[in-house]
Amino acid sequence: MNILFLTLAKIDNIEERMIYQFLMKEFVKNGHLVYIVCPLERRFKTKTHLYESDGAIILRVKTLNIQKTNVIEKGIGTLIIGQQFMSAINKYWSDVKFDLVTYSTPPITIIKVIDWVKKKYGAKTYLQLKDIFPQNALDLGMLTKTGIKGIIYQIFRNKEKKLYQLSDYIGCMSPANVEFVIKHNLEVNPKKVELCPNSFDLSNRIDYSMDREEIRRKYRLPLDKIIFIYGGNLGKPQGVPFLVKCLDANKNRKDCHFLVVGSGTDYNIVEDWYKNNKNTSVSLHKLLPKEDYDKLVQACDVGLIFLDYRFTIPNYPSRLLSYLENRMPVIACTDNNSDVGPIAENEGYGFYCPSNNVVAFTDCVNKMIQSDIKIMGEKGYHFMEEMYQPINTYNAIMNHFND
């Protein structure tokens, strides 16, 4: 089959240790021809071009800057990127007949591309639903149901419905996501909504555990304490003010240490607290290069997940996989709609607490310290082996085409 993957993520090659690259490699491994379209922002000063990467053909389309830029350029760039994708596909792959087009959220800006490919080639369409937008923006107050923001919300909501209608199949991150999509979109046939979670190739993992003490010394971390790490985005969805409250309540503990590594719109909230509070149990680092971050994670003991308590959608953060692959148990501080915490508790690799209760967080920390962290980490690793391998995601998609 000829597989077309549309994404707004930056993809340099499919050997990168990222969820989409792992999935595309799985398609290549199983004999499919893989075509990837992704943006190439103008800041890189390079023209649209094609190149091959380990069996996949990648088309990087020159666009305006759509990340880390001003609102005007981001808005215009987002509006025209669909047309830019279509023009590039027409120019470089006019003789290719696509059998399947798959895409991951947020794909609302490329709905026209999906519609065009489906009609032109008769291709089947598979949505990998990672974020439920615009409901997530509504939950956080970025959009409303009234006023000007209400008009914007309704425009995006209509596009979301169109996206679901265009998609022959919708793959969700967790059982709670499946239930949410079906419950809140009555026009969607429940039979086309299914579980298709993120996945990570464990055979690709590099083991840095031999350097554990050396890595801790490099980042001035205690050698003899349990280290809880939060790594990743520090923005509105993560409920950073609550994260800071948790750190503040545990800032002078003697039995453990907390490490925050990341970047994002609310990084300054953590940084301001860190600078203004003397503490012995918290370290803060800006986002590191991926290899350095992978090494640092392996030198820690427990992973932390934070989600804003206002969410009504059941988010399932991909950073969980980084913790599980390193045999680390987790503490999931989330809203009461996400099932990431309950699943961790049910499978024995973590604890859950609501992300509006600092006392409950501290209780989870105490429970984790008193638990057998190694056994819990092994349970998480085995759960990842069973559920979150690229072959699982590949099979979820290809089960519809094997006949």
Task: Considering only residues 111 and 67, tell me which one the structure prediction assigns the higher pLDDT.
Answer: 111
What pLDDT digit, counting tens, does each position of 106-132 carry?
667 788 899 999 999 899 999 999 888
Q: Report whether pLDDT(281) > 80.
A: yes
Cα–chain center distance at 185: 23
CB proximity list for 159: less than 8 A, separation 6 or greater: 108, 111
Q: Grade residue 25 by pLDDT with cuts at 50, 70 and 90.
A: very high
- The amino acid present at 193, given as its one-letter code, is V
Give the angle 276-282-283 at the CA atoms, nearest 5°.
Answer: 90
Domain 203-387 class in CATH: alpha beta
Cis amide prior to 106 (ω within 30 degrees): yes
Domain ranges of the chain: 2-199+388-398, 203-387
Q: Can you give the pLDDT at residue 188?
A: 95
pLDDT above 80: residue 86: yes
Residues 6+ apart with CB under 8 A from 152: 143
For the ranges 51-60, 131-140, 162-171, 202-211, the lowest mean pLDDT is seen at: 202-211
Euclidean distance between CA atoms 335 and 342, whole angstroms: 11
pLDDT at 72: 81
Q: Which residue has the higher pLDDT, 209 or 139?
A: 139
Percent of the chain having pLDDT more than 90? 67
What are φ and ψ of residue 208, in 5° steps? -110, 10
* Statement: residue 185 has pLDDT above 80: yes
| Residue 18 binned pLDDT confidence (cut-offs 50, 70, 90) | confident
What pLDDT score does 107 carry?
Answer: 63
Does residue 80 have a pLDDT over 90? no
Strands 33-41 and 56-63: parallel
Give the residues across from 58 on adjacent strands: 36, 51
pLDDT at 330: 98
pLDDT tens, position by position, 291-330: 899 899 999 999 999 999 999 999 999 889 999 999 999 9
Q: Do domains 2-199+388-398 and 203-387 have the same CATH topology?
A: yes
Q: What is the 3-state secondary structure (H, E, C) of the chain?
A: CEEEEECCCCCCCCCCCCHHHHHHHHHHHCCCEEEEEEEEEHHHCCCCEEEEECCEEEEEEEECCCCCCCHHHHHHHHHHHHHHHHHHHHHHCCCCCCCEEEEECCCHHHHHHHHHHHHHHCCEEEEEECCCCCHHHHHCCCCCCCHHHHHHHHHHHHHHHHHHHHCCEEEECCHHHHHHHHHHCCCCCHHHEEECCCCCCHHHCCCCHHHHHHHHHHCCCCCCCEEEEEEEECCHHHCHHHHHHHHHHCCCCCCEEEEEEEECCCHHHHHHHHHHCCCCCEEEEECCCHHHHHHHHHCCCEEEEECCCCCCCCCCCCHHHHHHHCCCCEEEEECCCCCHHHHHHHHCCEEEEECCCHHHHHHHHHHHHHCCHHHHHHHHHHHHHHHCCHHHHHHHHHCCCCC
Please report the pLDDT score of residue 101 as a whole number. 95
113 phi/psi in degrees, rounded to 5: -65, -45
- Per-residue pLDDT reduced to its tens digit, 320-375: 999 999 999 999 999 999 999 999 999 999 999 999 999 999 999 999 999 999 99
State yes or no: pLDDT of 71 exceeds 90. Answer: no
Cα–Cα distance, 299 to 281 (Å, whole number): 16
pLDDT of 70 above 90: no
**Residue 209 pLDDT level (bands cut at 50, 70, 90):** low
Q: How do residues 141-153 score in pLDDT, each as one tens digit?
A: 888 899 988 988 8
Rounded-to-integer distance, Cα 37 and Cα 5, Å: 6
pLDDT for residue 155: 87
**What's the order of all strands across the beta sheet hosting 2-6?**
49-53, 56-63, 33-41, 2-6, 100-104, 124-129, 169-172, 193-195
Share of the chain above pLDDT 70, in %: 99
| Whole-number pLDDT of residue 106 | 65
CATH architecture, domain defined by 2-199+388-398: 3-Layer(aba) Sandwich (3.40)
pLDDT band at residue 16 under the 50/70/90 scheme: confident
